[in-house]
Every structure is written in structure tokens, then in C-alpha cells.
Amino acid sequence: MSDACCGPTPADTAEPDHGPGRLWHVRELQCAATAAVLLAAGWALGRAGIGPAATALELAAVVVSASTFAPGALRNLRHRRVGVGTLMTIAAVGAVALGQYPEAAMLGILFSVAEGLEHDAVTRTRRGLRALLSLVPPTATVLRAGRETTVAPDDLALGDRMLLRPGERAATDGVIRVGRTSLDLSAITGESVPVEAGPGDELYAGAINGGGAIEVEVTAVAADSSLARIVHIVEEAQDRKGAGQRLADTIAKPLVPTIMILAALVAGIGSVFGDPMLWIERALVVLVAAAPCALAIAVPLTVVAAIGASSRHGALIKGGAALEELGRIRVVALDKTGTLTRNTPQVVAIVTAPGTPEAEILAAAAALEARSEHPLAAAILAAADLPVTPADDVTAVPGHGLTGTLGGSTLRLGKPGWIDAGALAADVTGLQGAGATVVIVERDGSALGAIAVRDELRPEAAEAVARLRGLGVDVAMLTGDNERTAHTMATGAGITTVHAELLPEDKANLLPSLANGRRVAMVGDGINDAPALATADVGIAMGAMGTDVAIETADVALMGEDLRHLPQVLAHARRARRIMVQNIGFSLAIITVLIPLAATGVLGLATVVFIHEFAEVLVIANAIRAARATTLPGLTSAPVTTGPVHVSVAPAEHTPGDACCPPAQPAPSRPATSRSEAQEDSASPR
């Protein structure tokens, strides 16, 4: 806080989570307590008539209390930087020069208390985030040379076979190779329902094995695991400035030199027309009254607390700007596949042309989809359940489907309308009316049949939409699927605004009209909806656990698959934004009221110091309210643990910046559409 306008000094750049473990271990508070004892002893000696000893103790109290901010202020002056600590140092020195030793000591004591409380609040908030790393067990069992060996998490190597027995936590990320089990991911994703997993499924650090013993191939060293990456990303995000913080910076940056000029004018003009000593004293009081301490910490501390709390409830918010924008959201656009639905579509019906067996239709469709990663492709390949010969020259036609050749024949697979359904039209219409996505398979210009695929709604979708509406948020569905399927799914989720048969760029182009001047968020999978995520005021990636692209590029990443995380994080962001506004308004009000009272002599130095620092404590207490988040029924928060951390993680690349004189911030990275992503988006009704 003493360097709030000038950035941290080298000695102050240690990671906050490594700070003191108890409130009485905070250096500023220790100095304040020592100075308070010295001041009290001096007052007692003064009352006893021992003047010289009382004066010595009072001066000692001044020195001890000022040691928390005066050295830093002097170092900053050498670099021509003036901050809040500078104002307090000048005021303390002036009070001593005027013989007001108790007032000078009280100024230093209260300022040190406020500074120590701020430091402790940030430390506790960040330590709560790093407590996630305590979910990593102290040891891991690996199979090396056919023998079980116990190693520390940091000693795990890529390719190791990690043995996980029932009830044990995973020390790092991996892929299950042997065995089937149920995994408890509640500490990571915030979802309390165990997930069934078997060979080929991913497993994340901190997951609890709730079933049988499994063998897991290590795919990330412990320091690079998904859990460690979450901690690292959120620590960096906590330091990014938002609009509210920039507003506080804009106000505070010119305020410090303005205060010094104002104090000089009070002293100079007052000395001309009155008692110089009186007006110099009032000028010192003005310095203290106008110090923007509370303003400097009003937003940063709230951001740190709010982002840390969200990360423990299954949501990564990428910085103060994203947090504030999230608090302004009034419209949410939801993608259908993988967001409103489970993203595990299955073939529910096959309609064949006369004389064409189902196996032939499935074989042709599977040949075109053999190398696709789209969920519809996975459903068709699973239904084919036979060796597939990939088609040649497979090409994705954006927004329509796929073409290719096989055995000298030209194959097409795509949406009705692009391919003529012919005699199958009535069946296709009926399947679409039942909420299925239908693709038609054509060979050499003749329709072989139609395949109906349906992806069921998430069971919590309707509840999540209702909760969004309860927050006053309008909800819309954007999908590339057909109108009938889209409206069927939307009706089940309680959504009335539906836009279907959209290309990726159509989704992005629709967002401004949906917003109608309001803030809009787009919720998708973080990859296929890249244009819309980039266009929206806030891009939210759904189910981003373990997905590097989604975590790195989205403004907000929901770690789990439960859609109820969305209204939870929106409500939390709104509350945090209200706290920011309250803190900024309160800080400015205190300065506005105290300056004229100090300049006119209504309030003395001791009273101004007390009011000023008490207001700062109130701002700190209000800011840390953002660390509390309400968990919705059916969801859970990461357990609070004070155990030791068993894995090393690189600290954030930058520490909290200069609150009053910040460097230029780079524009936040937004999702970009790669060629492979565009192909996935453009595949038939996807």
C-alpha cells in the first residue's frame, strides 16, 4: 500500500502465498504493536512527570512505526517516484518537526496496521488458491521394471505407469491404461457426481479413485499438471487490471502530486495571512487526509479475492477485466452441442432407400467420417461397429457436409436441403420433429438413406436456464443444427429465442443484434465456437478441464460439465463488481469530506489519521467479502485444506503492478479460428 502509486520495490516482490501464516506474524502489524507499546509507555511516563524519557519513547514509537513505509518511500524518491508512502513520510517528519510526537507515532501505527491487514488479506486469499495443490498426495506409486516404487510427485516422469488404488488421489495427469473405476472430480470441477472411466479416458491431478485399482500412464509432470496449471493461470489473472481498477488508477495517478501542491498552497497562502506554524500543521493534515490509500487497494484486493473464490468453485476468470465484464452481462448465447447437450450423440434411427441394407449406409457414412473428430462422426463410427475403409479426397463443405470418393463412387453426407431427401423426405421430417439431427447419405447422386443422431439435453440444462432468467439474463440458443431439432431442444431447456442452421461466422454476426446494446456472453466449447467467443463481450468455455486451448483463450473457463456453474459464476461476478463500485465510491467520499475539514482546521492530525485508516480497514474488509461464493445445490467447492504442498509450481510471471502508474497492458488474447477448427464447424449440421 505504501508503494501503491509507485509499484513494488524488489524486496516486496515475493510470492504473496509464501507470506506469514498468522496475523501476528505480519511484520507491519508487529511494528505497529511494538510502537503502540512504546507510545503507551511514553504517555504513562509523561503523566508521571518524567518528560525526557516520555519524549524518547514517543520518538522511538515514531521510528518503529515508520519503518514499515518510510524506507520504501525514500527508495522511490531516488527514482523520482512519489506515492502514498511519500505523503505519510512527509506528514510524520513534519509532525515531529512541530513537536507533535504522539500524533506522528499514531499516524505511523494506524498506517502500518492498515498496510498489514491488506498484506494479510491478499496472502490469505492467494494461499487459499494454492491450497488446491495440497490435493496432490505426498507420494505416488509407479510401476518401474515390473516393481512398485514410491516416489514424490515431482519425481514422476512422462510415460511412467502410475498405480492408483481405491481411495487414492492422482498426483498428476494421465491416461488410464488398465482397469475401470469411478472418479471423484469434485475438488477440480465442482461437480459432486462421480464420473465412470476406463482405458483411454483422461485422469486429472487431484482426482480421487472411487472404484477399483487402475494403471495410469503419466502425460504431464506434476508441475505442469492441470491442477498446477489452474493455479498458475489464476495467479496471473488476479494481476490483470479491469476497467474499475483502471478507473481507480486514473483518479489516483494525478491525485498524489495534486495533494502535494494543495498542501504547499495551504501552507504558503495561510502563512501569508496568518500564523505560519498553524498553517504548516494544517498542510500536513491535508497530506494525510487526501492520501488515496483506500482508493489504491479498492479494486485490486476485490479482484484477487473474487477470482480466487471462483477458481475454487469450478470457474477460471481471466483477470479483472473479464470479472467486471462478467458482472455486466445481461444476455447469454448458448451453443447447443456440448453446452446444452451431453455431447455424446448416438444413432437413434436409420432410414433406408428400397433395397439398401442399413450396413451399407453406415459403411458409406463411416468412410467419410473416418478421420473426423466431430461428435456426430463418433456416433456414426460407433454404430457402424466394423472395420472402416476411409474415403479418398474427403472435403468439408462449410455448413453443409462432406464429400469424398470410395471404390470409384462419389459419396456425399450432409444436411437435408443440401442433399435431396427424395422419397425419404417424410421420414426425415418426422425424425427432425422428434429432436434428432438427420444426415443423408448419397452415392453417385442417389440417396441411400438417412441417419438420425440425437444428443440428449443435460439434465441440469432447464434449471441452469431458469437460474439465468432469475438473474435477469436473457438466454438464446445458437446452433448449426436444423430448425426442428433446435426448437425441440430449446423447448426442453426452457429457451424461447432460437437461431438454427448457422455457420460459425453467422453466430458471431448475430451477437450484436442479440445484445441490443447490452453486454453479451457466448458459451461454447472453446474451440468450435471461436468466432462467436471472440466477438462476445465475454467468451465462456464450457467443460474446459484439461483443454489447453479453452483454458488459455477463453475469458472465462468452466472447468466441469455442469451448466449450473454458469449462473453461479455470473452471480458471483455481479456481487464482486458491486463491491468494487462500493469501495471506489466510499474511498472518494472519504477524501472529499476530509480535505476541506483538514484545511480549515476542523479536524486535527490525530483525528484525520484515525478516520482515514479506519476507512481503509473498512475497504479491506469489504473487499475480502468477494472471497465468499455461494455454492448451488448439486455442486461443490474445492475442500479447504492447510496441508503441505507436495508439488512445485512456477510463480506467476508478474507480480501486482503499479496501482497508480501502471505499464501499458497488452490486449487480451482471444480465440482464433484455425483451419481444422473451421472444418469441424463447417461439417454438416454441426
Contact 331, 514 (CB under 8 A): yes
CB environment 93-114: b (16+ within 10 A), e (fewer): ebbbebebbbbbbbbbbbbbbb
Look-up of cell digits 456453474? 565
Give the number of other CB atoms < 10 A from CB of residue 59: 16
Tell me the HSE value of 296 on the side-chain side, using a 13 A CA sphere. Answer: 29
Q: Which three cell numbers stand for residue 586?
A: 466510499
Residue 534 to residue 671: CA distance in whole angstroms: 6
Residue 581 to residue 247: CA distance in whole angstroms: 10
Give the residue numbers marked as catalytic.
335
Q: Are strands 519-524 and 329-335 parallel, antiparallel or unpaired?
A: parallel
Phi, psi (degrees; rounded to nearest 5) at 72:
-65, -40
- H or E stretch including 284? helix 276-290
Contact 289, 612 (CB under 8 A): yes
Residue 649 to residue 517: CA distance in whole angstroms: 42
Contact 605, 288 (CB under 8 A): yes
Closest CA to 452 of 477, 468, 434, 476: 434
Contact 422, 447 (CB under 8 A): yes
Closest CA to 660 of 293, 217, 122, 411: 293
Closest CA to 635 of 570, 566, 577, 545: 566
Contact 379, 347 (CB under 8 A): yes
| H helix runs in 333-374, sequence order | 358-369
Q: Which three cell numbers stand for residue 496?
A: 424461447
Residue 337 to residue 482: CA distance in whole angstroms: 12
Closest CA to 113 of 615, 597, 608: 615
Tell me the HSE value of 182 on the side-chain side, using a 13 A CA sphere. Answer: 8
- Give, to the nearest 10 degrees, the angle between helix 101-130 and helix 27-47: 160
Closest CA to 376 of 462, 441, 448: 441
Coil, strand or helix: which one is 60?
A: helix
CA distances 155 to 218, 222, 424, Å, are 11, 8, 61
Q: Which three cell numbers stand for residue 477?
A: 440458443
Contact 267, 685 (CB under 8 A): no
